[in-house]
Amino acid sequence: MSIQPLIKKAIAYVTNKDELMVFTHTDFPEAGVQVPAGTVEENEEPSEAVVREIYEESGVKEVRILELLGIYQYNMTPYRNEIQKRYVYHLELTQSTPSTWRHWEIHPSTSKNPIAFDFYWVKLDSSNLGLADGQGYFLSKLVHKIKDSQDSAIT
């Protein structure tokens, strides 16, 4: 019986008001809708990894971590023989972006060639945005937090 390695991952829920930054792989749409995420490198904190991954995958530099929404484990079988310990952060965009844009990840971990991602914003009006590979685990928590903050701003 083989033991699955435990790999630390950082996942980014980047919001701009009530919208979430998401992307699809330009050449591999079957990979589904995703949010920026990646491996926490040795001697790196998950909070550092999440900001680095956002920049590498989207080109967006100006974000501010609002909070760690939570940590959970996700089994990648049958795609990979690993268990991922996922640190999910809520970050706020602090720069302007277009409504859609394409960005190339120059040093992807799975290929030597740059990978193109098509980014866009989706309204956070439900907790089921169909994010790939279990990335939506804490979306309902995020939706409630955003709704609560909007309600507080109104009263």
Show which residues are catalytic.
Answer: 56
Task: Give the chain's length.
Answer: 155
In the numeric block, which tokens belong to residue 150?
Answer: 């909007």
Q: Please calculate the CA angle 89-87-127 and round it to the nearest 5 degrees.
A: 60
DSSP notation for 47-107: HHHHHHHHHHHH----EEEEEEEEEEEEE-TTTSS-EEEEEEEEEEE-S---SEEEEEESS
Spatial separation of the C-alpha atoms in residues 130 and 20, rounded to whole Å: 13
